[in-house]
Amino acid sequence: MEIKMPKSSSKPVLVTCGLPYANGKAHIGHLRTYVPADIFVRSLRKEGRDVTFVCGSDTHGTPIVVNAEELRITPKELVEIYHKHFDETFKQLGVYFDAFGTTDDPENHNRTLDIVNRLIEKGYVYPKTIEIAYCPSCNRFLPDRYVEGSCPHCGETARGDECDQGCGKHLEPGELQNPVCTICGGPAEYRQQEHFFFKLSDFSDYLMNYLSNDLGGTANARNYALGWVKQGLTDWCITRNLEWGVKFPGHDDLVVYVWVDAPIGYIAFTEQWAAKAGDSWEKYWKNDGEIVHFIGGDITYHHCIFWPAMLKGADYSVPTAVVASGMVKIEEKKFSKTRGYVVWVGEDYLDHGFHPDLLRYYLASYTSHTRELNFSWHVLQEKVNTELVAVLGNFLYRTMLFAFKNYGEVPAGELEPAIKEEIEKTLKEVKAAMAEYEFKRAVDSAMALASFGNTYFQSHEPWNLIKQDKAACGHVIYNCLHLAKALSLIFEPVIPETIETAWKELGQEEDLHTALYYEALVPIKAGTKLAKPQILFTKLEDDRIREMEEIASQRVKAANAKAAGRVEEKEPSKSEGMGTARDVAEAKKAAAEKGEILPTIEYRDFAKLDIRVGKVLLAEPVKKSRKLLRVEVDIGEEKPRQLVAGMAPYYTPEELVGKYVIVLANLKPAKLCGVKSNGMMLAADDCANDIVAALTPDKEIKPGSRIR
C-alpha cells in the first residue's frame, strides 16, 4: 500500500480523532479510530516528539434534535449524557486526550463564527434561494434527517443529507425524491427559502494539487477524495433550519451545517488544551506544525475535501495527513446495529470483565489499518491465548519468576551484542511501521522480539545452568531481564496498563508512559530489586467465549424479530445505538436527586405554552408497548384530543377515565409506537423513587380552561 511518510521529525504534531456523535453508545466500530490513534500518539511521544492529542463530542445536527424530541428532553441534556459516556469509555480503554470538549463549547461557537465570517468576507459564501423539504401537516421546514425519501442517484432509501442505505453520496437540500416527513410520516413538499452556500467549486485546482502532492496519511483517503475532485465539485449548502447549533451570522433562524462546526472543533479543542497548558494553538493552526487526522473511512470526503477547502479559504493551516481506517465486521457479517451485528464496548465487553488491553491488542494486531477488520470472539480467544499468553506473557513470567526466585534482583551480566542487535532491529521496524500507520506490522515485530526471548531462554536452559554455574546463569537471566525491559517499552503504546505491571516488577522507577524508546538499549542495572511477578495474561476459556457468542446470537435473533414486527415495544430513538430509555432515565434521576434548577426564562417564553385543563374520556393500552396509553381528552375543542402518555406503569386505564388532567396543547405532534400524540399530559416525576403522578386541579373546572 502506498504510504506518504511524515515530512519532518522535529515539528510539533497535533493528532485528532473523528468526533464521536453524542447520540448513542460506544461500540467496537468506534474504537477502530481511537485506539490506533492513541497507539500512534504514545509511540510518537516515545520518540521524544512534541505531541498534542485532542478530540471531543460532536453535539449538533438533526439526529440529536430528533432523538431529544422523542425522549422529551433537551438536545443539551442528551449530549451531556453521551459526552460523559464517551469520555469515561475512552479513559477505561487507556485513551487519554489532552483536551476532550464538545462542539457546543463557547470556544467552538466563537471559532466557527470567526471562520464563517472570514469566508463571507473573502467571497466564498453566498446566498441562494433553493427548494427545501416542508411538511404542511407539521408546518415546518425539514432539514436533513427530518426527511426521508429516494436517492436521486441510486434509488435507495435515503436521508435528507446522505444516501446512507445505498451509494453513500452526500445529498444537497432539494435533491431527495419522494420526500416524507419523519415526524408525522406524511408526505412532504418542496418550498423555496434562502440559504447560504460555500464555494467549494472554487477550490478544485487547489484540492487536486493538495491531494496529489501535499497530503500525507493513508492512500485510501487520498484516492477516494481524488476521485470526487475529478468528477467535479459542487458548492455546499452550509445552513440548516434548526435552533440547536451555531447560529449563522445575521440569521437567527439558521444554524451552520454540522459538517462546518464539527471539524472546527479540532481547532477549538486545541485552544482549550493551549489555555490549560499555557501553550499556543497557533503553532498548529497558523504555523507549520503537523496536523494528523485519524478518521473512519466513511467521513473521508468531509476531511479531505470540504475541510481543507474551508481552512484554506479562511487562511488556516491544512491537515498534514489523514489516516482512514477500514470498516468493521462482526463475526464476518456486515456491521449493522439494526440487524444486531454490533458489539457494545460497555455492556458486551467491559461489563463482562474483559481487560481493555486485550481489545486494544486485537484492534492493533488483527490486520492492516486500512483493511476491513472482523471482530470475532473466537479470534479474540485465539489471539489472546496463542500470542499474549503463549508468547509475550510466557516469556515475561518465566523470566521474572526465575530471576525473583533465584536472585531476587537483576543479576550481574553484560548485554550480549546479539540481544542488542535484535532490540535495535525491532525498534527500527516498530518506528517505521508506526510512521506508516501500519500498527499490525509494529505489533508483529514486537511479538517477534518476545518470541526471540523465549527461544533464547529455552536454548540456554537456565534451570540446568544454575546448578552448574550460577554466575553464567545470571548472565543469561540478565539478558532476559533486559529483553523484558525492552519489551515493556515497545509494547507500552499497545497494552499500556498490563505492560506497566511488568515494568514495575522489573524495579524500574521511571514512569513507563514517559520513558523513551532509546532506553530499550540502555542496559538494565544490575542489583535492581525485583518484585514477585504476576501472571499478566490468562487464557480465555471456551465456556466464557461460548457465553459471549450466545449473547451475540440472541441479539441477532431479537433484531430479526423486531424487523418482523414481533417486538413488544419500539425503541425510543430512530438512531441505532442510541442509549436506551434506561440510560436517559438514569441521567434524569441523577439530575433530579441533585435538585438542579433549569436556567431562568422570560415570561414571553412561558406565554408560548398553551396549557389547559382536560378531562379524560377514554384510555386504553397501546399495542406492542408496556408503557404507553392512548387517551382521548376533552380540552374544550370540537372533538376530543388524542394523546399518547407513558402512564401505563402508574395508572390503569380505568383510573384515568373521568380524571381532570393538565395538557400541553400546542406541543408538536409526535408518533409513539405508531400512534400519533397531539400534545402532552403533564405529570410530576419523582425519579429517585420511581413515582409518577398526573397533575390535576384541586376542584372540577371546565375542560379547556387555560393555565396561566
- Residues of the binding site for ATP: 337
Alpha carbons 376 and 378: distance in angstroms, whole number: 5
Do β-strands 13-17 and 290-296 pair in parallel, antiparallel, or remain unpaired?
parallel
Could you give the CA distance from residue 429 to residue 570 in angstroms, rounded to a whole number?
A: 52
Non-local CB neighbours of 121 within 8 Å, separated by 6+ positions = none
- Residues at the annotated binding site? 151, 154, 163, 167, 337
Helix (H) or strand (E) holding 571: none
In terms of C-beta density within 10 A (0-12 exposed, 13-18 middle, 19 or more buried), how is residue 438 classed?
Answer: buried
- Tell me how far CA of residue 236 lies from CA of 57, 297, 355, in angstroms: 23, 21, 44
Whether the CB-CB separation of 334 and 572 falls below 8 Å is answered with: no
Half-sphere exposure for 362 (CA within 13 Å, toward CB): 26
Listed residue (583, 554, 581) closest to 570, CA to CA? 581
Backbone angles phi, psi at 620, to 5 degrees: -155, 155
| Nearest-angstrom CA–CA distance, 679 and 640 | 12
CA-CA distance, 25 to 86, in Å (whole number)? Answer: 8
Residue 657 half-sphere exposure toward CB, CA atoms < 13 A: 9
Q: Are strands 321-325 and 216-218 parallel, antiparallel or unpaired?
A: parallel
> Which cell is 175 given?
435533491
CB 277 within 8 A of CB 98: yes
Tell me the C-alpha distance between 562 and 610, whole Å: 37
Q: CA 36, CA 438: separation in Å to the nearest integer?
A: 9
Tallying the residues shown for the chain, one arrives at 708
Tell me the C-alpha distance between 626 and 640, whole Å: 24
Q: Are 641 and 688 in contact (CB under 8 A)?
A: no
Helix (H, G, I), strand (E, B) or coil at 151: coil
Retrieve residue 192's grid coordinates: 423555496
Q: Which of 405, 67, 435 is nearest to 216 (CA)?
A: 435
DSSP structure string for 269-318 = HHHHHHHHHT--SHHHHTSS-EEEEEEEGGGHHIIIIIHHHHHHHTT-PP
Continuous segment of H or E residues that includes residue 527: none
What separation, in Å, do the N-terminal and C-terminal C-alpha atoms of the chain show?
69
- Annotated binding residues for Zn(2+), written as ranges, equal 151, 154, 163, 167
Q: Hey, what amino acid is at 167? A: C
Question: Which residue bears the cell 504555523?
Answer: 287
Spell out a b/e string for 687-704, using b for 16 or more CB atoms within 10 Å of the CB, else e: beeeebebeeeeeeeebe
* Separation of CA 413 from chain center: 49
Strands 683-686 and 680-681: unpaired
DSSP, collapsed to helix, strand or coil, labels residue 680 as: strand
